[in-house]
C-alpha cells in the first residue's frame, strides 16, 4: 500500500494547536514544503479542523490537523474550539505554536493533551520578527518545562529540527505496529474466510480485509481466500493445515467447528481490537455479558456511518444474539461515526466495532473514557467469540 493510498486511520495524526494568527497554517506549509493550508494575515482564517494527508521522511504516512485558534471568540468561536477539542482526541503528537511568552491558554491545552498521554512539542514561531527569541524561549521553558523549538515558518527555518523531534517521540514498536502481530512468519500459509453476503460491498472487499491481506503479503505469507461455503474444499486443497485462519467474526462458530486442530484461529475484528484498541480490556469487558439482565443497558458504537443493512452485524446480528441470551428487555442503544456519549454511566457495557475508520489514538481515548467511568468495554469480534463459547480458543 503506497503512502498516497494509506487510509487516514493508519496515519500518524499531527495536531497543530495555538492562538489565532500564530502561524499554524504557515507551519504546516513549511513542514510539508507545499501550500496545503490557507494562510492569511487575518486572525481566525482556519475554522473547522482541516485534515491533510502527507508523508514525512522518518515518520512515514501522516495527517496534519490544522485547527482553529485556541482564543477564538463568540458563539461560533466556541463551536470551533469544540471541534478543535475533538481533533485533540485523534492527535498522536501535538505541536503547540506560540509567538510570545503569554501562554496561559496554551498551558491549559497542554494540560488536556497530557491527560490524553499525547506527546507535545512546543514551537516558538515567527523568530524572524523577534530579536530576543532566545530570551522568550527561556521564559516559555520556565512555564511549560520544555524548551521550545525556535522557528520561522515564513522563512521555513527550523523545520528539520521539528521533524527530528517528532520522530524521536515514537518508539520503534509504535512505528512498526501491525495487524497480525506475531501470529505469522514469512512462508506461513494463512487462510482467510470472507463471506460475500449482503454486508460485503459489491465488487470489492471491506477495508479490514484489504489491509490484512496487504500486510500478510508484505510479511511474505502465502494467502488463501474463500467464502464460508468453500471452507472444506479449501482445506482439502491444501497439503498441510494453514498456520492461521482469519475469519469474519459473524461465522466464528462455523469456522471453529471446521478448522483443523493444528490451525490457529482469529477474526478481522479481533485483530483490529489489538491493532486499534486495548484487546485485554476488551476480553475483560466481554465477561460483563454474564452479568447482564433484562434491566441492563448496552451501547453499541460503530465507527462507520453507512446506511443500515438488512443483516448489519452491529445493528442487527449482535443485538439479536444479546436479546436471545439475555432477553428482549435488554436495552441496546446505537451510535455511529464521531457520536459517542461523554457520560457512559448509564450503560452496563460498551461494544465497539473494529474501528478500521479511526486511528488508534482516538479509539484508545474512548477506551480510557470507559475505564475512567468504570464501564466495561469490548469489541464486536470478542463479543461474538464469547457468546459462541470460543473466546479462549482464539488468538490475537
The 3-class SS string of the chain reads CCHHHCCHHHCEEEEEEECCCCCHHHHHHHHHCCCCCCCCCCCCCCCCCEEEEEEECCCEEEEEEECCCCCCCHHHHHHHHHHHHHHHCCCCEEEEEECCCCCHHHHHHHHHHHHCCCCEEEEECCHHHCCCHHHHHHHHHHHHCCCCEECECCCCECHHHHHHHHHCCCCHHHHCCCCCCCCCCCCCEEEEECCCCCCCCCCCCCHHHHHHHHHHHHCCCEEEEECHHHHHHHHHHCCCCCCEEEECHHHHHHHHHHCCCCCEEEEHHHHHHHHHCCHHHHHHHHHHHHHCCCCCEEEEEECCCCCCCCCCHHHHHHHHHHHHHHCCCCEEEEEECCCCCCCCCCCCEEEECCCCCCCHHHHHHHHHHHHHCCCCEEEHHHHHHHHCCCHHHCCC
Phi-psi category of residue 107: left, alpha or beta, with phi > 0 → left and psi -120 to 50 → alpha: alpha
Q: What is the pLDDT of residue 228?
A: 95
User: Are 111 and 31 contacting, i.e. CB atoms less than 8 angstroms apart?
Assistant: no
Burial of 233 (C-beta count, 10 Å sphere; 0-12/13-18/19+): exposed
Q: Is the pTM of this model over 0.85?
A: no
CA angle 288, 291, 294 (to 5 degrees): 120
User: Are 85 and 5 contacting, i.e. CB atoms less than 8 angstroms apart?
Assistant: no
Nearest-10 Cα torsion for 60, 97, 49, 90: 50
Nearest to 175 by CA among 1, 388, 11: 11
Q: What is the pLDDT of residue 2?
A: 44
**Measured between alpha carbons, how far is 351 from 314 in angstroms, rounded to an integer?**
9
Q: Which residues, 6+ apart, have CB-to-CB distance to 324 below 8 Å?
A: none
User: Are 83 and 110 contacting, i.e. CB atoms less than 8 angstroms apart?
Assistant: no
**Measured between alpha carbons, how far is 396 from 386 in angstroms, rounded to an integer?**
14
**Measured between alpha carbons, how far is 107 from 150 in angstroms, rounded to an integer?**
18
Q: What is the pLDDT of residue 206?
A: 85
Print pLDDT tens along the chain (396 aa).
Answer: 444 557 778 889 999 999 988 999 899 989 887 765 555 444 444 456 888 888 887 788 899 999 988 887 777 878 888 888 889 999 999 999 999 999 999 999 999 999 999 999 999 999 999 889 999 999 999 999 999 999 999 999 999 999 999 988 876 555 457 899 889 999 999 999 998 765 656 667 888 999 999 999 999 999 999 999 999 999 999 999 999 999 999 999 999 999 999 999 999 999 999 999 999 999 999 999 999 999 999 999 998 865 555 668 888 999 999 999 999 999 999 999 989 999 999 999 999 999 988 999 999 999 999 999 999 999 999 999 999 999 999 999
Note the residue count of the chain.
Answer: 396
User: Are 284 and 170 contacting, i.e. CB atoms less than 8 angstroms apart?
Assistant: no
Q: Grid cell 452479568 — which residue?
A: 291
**Measured between alpha carbons, how far is 220 from 37 in angstroms, rounded to an integer?**
39
Question: Hey, what domains does the chain have and what are their CATH numbers?
Answer: 3-175 (3.40.50.300), 189-271 (3.40.50.11420), 278-393 (3.40.50.11410)
**Measured between alpha carbons, how far is 192 from 222 in angstroms, rounded to an integer?**
11
C-alpha cell recorded at residue 79: 463551536
C-alpha cell recorded at residue 268: 478481522
Q: What is the pLDDT of residue 36?
A: 57
User: Are 111 and 118 contacting, i.e. CB atoms less than 8 angstroms apart?
Assistant: no
Amino acid at each position: 500500500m503506497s503512502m498516497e493510498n494509506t487510509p487516514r486511520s493508519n496515519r500518524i495524526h499531527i495536531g497543530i494547536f495555538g492562538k489565532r494568527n500564530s502561524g499554524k497554517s504557515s507551519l504546516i506549509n513549511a513542514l510539508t514544503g507545499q501550500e496545503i493550508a490557507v494562510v492569511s494575515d487575518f486572525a481566525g482564517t482556519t475554522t473547522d479542523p482541516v485534515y491533510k494527508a502527507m508523508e514525512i521522511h522518518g515518520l512515514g504516512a501522516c495527517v496534519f490537523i490544522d485547527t482553529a485558534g485556541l482564543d477564538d471568540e463568540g458563539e461560533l468561536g466556541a463551536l470551533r474550539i469544540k471541534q478543535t477539542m475533538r481533533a485533540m482526541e485523534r492527535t498522536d503528537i501535538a505541536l503547540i505554536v506560540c509567538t510570545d511568552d503569554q501562554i496561559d491558554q496554551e498551558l491549559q491545552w497542554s494540560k488536556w493533551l497530557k491527560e490524553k498521554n499525547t506527546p507535545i512539542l512546543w514551537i516558538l514561531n515567527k523568530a524572524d520578527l523577534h530579536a530576543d527569541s532566545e530570551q522568550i524561549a527561556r521564559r516559555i521553558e520556565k512555564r511549560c518545562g520544555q524548551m521550545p523549538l525556535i522557528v520561522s515558518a515564513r522563512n521555513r527555518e527550523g523545520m528539520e529540527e521539528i521533524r527530528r523531534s517528532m520522530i524521536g517521540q515514537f518508539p520503534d514498536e509504535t512505528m512498526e505496529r501491525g495487524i497480525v502481530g506475531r501470529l505469522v512468519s514469512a512462508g506461513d500459509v494463512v487462510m482467510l474466510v470472507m463471506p460475500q453476503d449482503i454486508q460485503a460491498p459489491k465488487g470489492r472487499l471491506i477495508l479490514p480485509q484489504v489491509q490484512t491481506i496487504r500486510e500478510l503479503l508484505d510479511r511474505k505469507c502465502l494467502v488463501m481466500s474463500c467464502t464460508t461455503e468453500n471452507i472444506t474444499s479449501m482445506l482439502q486443497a491444501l497439503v498441510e493445515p494453514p498456520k492461521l485462519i482469519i475469519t469474519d467474526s459473524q461465522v466464528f462458530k462455523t469456522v471453529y467447528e471446521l478448522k483443523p486442530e493444528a490451525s490457529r484461529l482469529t477474526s478481522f475484528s479481533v485483530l483490529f481490537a489489538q491493532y486499534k484498541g486495548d484487546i485485554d480490556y476488551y476480553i475483560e469487558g466481554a465477561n460483563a455479558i454474564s452479568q447482564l439482565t433484562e434491566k441492563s443497558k448496552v451501547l453499541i458504537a460503530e465507527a462507520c456511518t453507512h446506511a443500515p443493512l438488512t443483516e448489519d452485524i452491529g445493528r442487527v446480528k449482535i443485538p439479536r444474539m444479546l436479546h436471545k441470551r439475555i432477553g428482549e428487555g435488554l436495552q441496546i442503544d446505537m451510535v455511529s461515526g464521531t457520536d459517542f456519549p461523554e457520560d457512559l454511566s448509564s450503560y452496563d457495557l460498551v461494544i465497539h466495532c473494529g474501528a478500521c475508520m479511526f486511528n488508534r489514538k482516538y479509539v484508545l481515548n474512548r477506551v480510557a473514557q470507559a475505564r475512567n467511568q468504570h464501564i466495561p468495554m469490548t469489541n464486536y469480534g470478542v463479543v461474538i467469540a464469547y457468546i459462541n463459547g470460543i473466546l479462549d480458543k482464539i488468538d490475537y
